[in-house]
Amino acid sequence: MSELIWHDVECGDYAADLPLWEELADQVSDDKPIMELGCGTGRVTLHLARRGAYLVLGVDSNPELVAAVWDKSGGGVPADAELADVRDCEFYPDFELVIAPMQLIQLLKGRAERLDCLRCAAANMPPGGRAAFAIVEEAPEPAPQGALPPLPDVRKLEGWIYSSLPLEPVVAEGSIIVRRLRQTVSPDGELRECLNEVELQLLSAEALEEEAAEAGLRAVGRRAIPATEAHVGSTAVLLEKET
């Protein structure tokens, strides 16, 4: 099953973080671009571009997702996407804002890969440029006994029904396993399902700020992103490139 479809089902309607990205984008100079690391199908990249940003460049390692950004932009908004590794993607040092939503940096395997990503962000920013990385600092508390389960994310496409139900995450050694039950119903009524798991490395805001300092980025604040029924709350760590 195409990851493109599931990405849109599970992330396409998520909006709890958009006010923060809008606020940060509004502080960018009128003639300076914005970069999104791990842009997926363009949820944030296209949103900021449609609001009037000079240019928003999304970066992702999945060619299918990058192509989806191109298709959705239709050439009518100042948005672009590039196929690249967030640990090694140097374009030009002119991005006044680099953002990494949806716990992107916790998908990387360990400190060395996170440092590469932070250095990549710094390499694409001028002195004084800002960066923001969203992280989940700890697993959410189990739902109270008797609480109603969350509703699945559902989308219908060409006669197929796609449903993704959030399950209780599992805390493993040094990581959080985010789980979803993915179900598809064909136009003929055939049901298929599978368990999808995504591993997030445990990471505190303090640890990320210390690693960022090694990459030439100083901590300038933190912002809370509220939880939703289908997504845990998170912390955005705000950074600035040293002059």
Model confidence band, residue 243 (pLDDT cutoffs 50, 70, 90): confident
Question: What average pLDDT score do residues 17-23 get?
Answer: 98
Is residue 229's pLDDT more than 90? Answer: no
pLDDT for 74 equals: 86
Is residue 60's pLDDT more than 80? Answer: yes
pLDDT for 142 equals: 67
pTM across the whole model: 0.93
State the average pLDDT for the chain: 93
CA distances from 219 to 19, 33, 91, 214, 239 (A): 21, 22, 24, 11, 5
Fold of 153-199: N-terminal domain of TfIIb (2.20.25)
Among 36, 44, 127, CA closest to 84: 36
Reading phi first (left if > 0) and then psi (alpha if -120 to 50, else beta), residue 94 is in: alpha
Is residue 143's pLDDT more than 80? Answer: no
The domain spans of the chain are: 3-138+203-241, 153-199
Strand partners, 153: 164
CATH number listed for the domain at residues 3-138+203-241:
3.40.50.150
pLDDT tens column, 87-125: 999 898 999 999 999 999 999 999 999 999 999 999 999
